Amino acid sequence: MVSKVIVGDIVKASNGQFLPADMVLISSSEPQVTCYVATSNLDGETNLKLRQALLETAQMQTERQLSSLSGKIECEGPNRHFNTFIGTLYLNDESPVPIGPDQVLLRGTQLKNTQWVLGIVVYTGFETKFMQNSIKSPLKKSRVEKVTNVQILVLFVLLLAMSLVSCVGAILWNVEGTWYFGTKDYSSHSLGFDLLVFIILYHNLIPISLLVTLEIVKYVQAMFINWDEDMHYKENNIYAIARTSNLNEELGQVKYLFSDKTGTLTCNIMKFKKCSIAGIIYGLSPSVLTESYEFNDPTLLQNFENGHPTKDYIKEFLTLLCMCHTVIPERDEDKIIYQASSPDEAALVKWVKKLGFVFTTRTPTSVTIEAVSSILNTFSCNRKRMSVIVRTPTGNLRLYCKGADTVIYERLSEDSLFMKETLTHLEHFAKGGLRTLCVAYTDLTEEEYQQWLTEYKKASSVIQDRMQSLEECYDKIEKKFLLLGATAIEDRLQARVPETIVTLLKANIRIWVLTGDKQETAINIAYSCKLISAQMPRIRLNTHSLEATQQAVTQNCEALGTLIGKENDLALIIDGETLKYALNFEVERSFLNLALSCRAVLCCR
């Protein structure tokens, strides 16, 4: 089937089938023209993804309707980015329809919980994103293997040289040494034959058995790794597994270890712990946190139910968390199961559910919670924030936004309250090693929204620089926020992470960790996992310009003096904004020398 599909075909796929090409979803069996796909073959994620068909083609389901479909699709060229797609659908005598990644079904994904879908093929064969990412695995060779190969090549060249010299000697001997036979014709002897004879005679020069011996040694090493009791996790009876033996000897040559935090050092199992609403902190203190503890502060519900002055703020706070997300609800008999690509969002939605704000249904135009609100536009990307515009039951327009504190605070209105109190609470959460988010909102007028909507539709229809145009459009409306509060979520360290990091540091392995947490949170986690000790001097780089970054890096390099480039018991902590300037070609070399002089490097939000 895959070989017969060409660009422009309309393909129908049934539940459970793997899609044969990249195609734009035009219709489905679901009432809201949506479908669910499993993308585990592409990105390894097990949660289902929601895809939304184009509303302009949603009613085209029969062969007669599809045969009358006429138009064209303009889209970007083939690329390997799974989460991006820029295209525009032009139907006859109709306005251009923007196409994004939520309207695209990729080859290799599996249709789930949907009877059937219809899609227009845009990429086939090697142009699909699946094939663009199907690169040949590089052949990894250890240093011993590389040196051995070079030495064998040298020995083979030496073998040929010795054989050639011996051939010349044999010719001279047979011509001059047998004069008494009275023959000067040496045609009976072949140079090639003599060369082959001497190669056979000298073949022991090539240590053929060495390669076999090395492979046997590597196999035995892998067996010892599998049997090593020091790498045995007794609680779950899990031993180390050597999946390949090619690079065993390289383990002793490792100097640097690069790691992210979430899911590697931590469990990636989020639990809602605390929150700050209208300047009031809710949740137990860190001293009484236990492994089984989850948020259960009765004060929050009491303030909400008993008419506390912050009641309206609490309501807006919970409503925002219940609506501003990408979670997909699934029903299993009387239970609601939340599917989420982000464990943070799942933790927030589950928490507000316990407080009575239940997220039950998602459609292309609305979500259902305690009160139904129409979602007019949602947008989310790598902007450290996510926003949603809703029309409330009273008819008012409101924009909800959640994101990193650095992004939210720079967009707050001068009239916003609780800024200092919330900032203090954020620092308190961060020192406890909790992941934080700020939440805010702003009211919109109908005229303001319609004007922005026109610009948004125009920006979402362009092919060139669409993301930049959308960013500029988002910035025009994501402003003058009123702060509601902040959330704090815990992601615990995995078992025996601190002991492992201490052992690696003792082996003189330098560890660099990347995280999207606040700097205070990242430092606290670094202390918890023993990456940084209390006695270890720290270099903190927090600048806001290229000149300031260059000056700070230069000063620290000069302070190290002759120790620059050597291993020092130092920790380098740098935030994302400073890193952007530090990677500029004017600063890059000095920054690299500084980083190579530190035992631990921590890059955070």
Active-site positions read 260
From residue 340, give the alpha-carbon distance in Å to each of 101, 372, 403: 17, 21, 17
Question: What is the token pair recorded at 315?
Answer: 């309501």
The answer on whether 472 is annotated among ligand-binding residues is: no
The answer on whether 517 is annotated among ligand-binding residues is: yes
The answer on whether 262 is annotated among ligand-binding residues is: yes
Pair 401, 481: CB distance under 8 Å: yes
Report the alpha-carbon distance of residue 124 to residue 126 in Å, rounded.
Answer: 6
The answer on whether 515 is annotated among ligand-binding residues is: yes
Report the alpha-carbon distance of residue 536 to residue 542 in Å, rounded.
Answer: 19
* Residue whose C-alpha is closest to residue 18's, from 103, 106, 100: 106
CB atoms within 10 A of CB 258: 10
Report the alpha-carbon distance of residue 393 to residue 483 in Å, rounded.
Answer: 22
User: Exposed (0-12), middle (13-18) or buried (19+): which is 3, by Cβ within 10 Å?
Assistant: exposed
The answer on whether 345 is annotated among ligand-binding residues is: yes
Pair 108, 17: CB distance under 8 Å: no
* Residue whose C-alpha is closest to residue 573's, from 512, 505, 516, 499: 512
DSSP 484-495: EEEEEEEEEEPT
* Residue whose C-alpha is closest to residue 105's, from 75, 82, 133, 87: 82
DSSP 283-312: S--GGG--TT-----HHHHHHHHTT-TTHH
Binding residue positions: 260-262, 345, 379, 402, 435, 515-517, 605
- Residues annotated within the binding site for ATP are 260-262, 345, 379, 402, 435, 515-517, 605
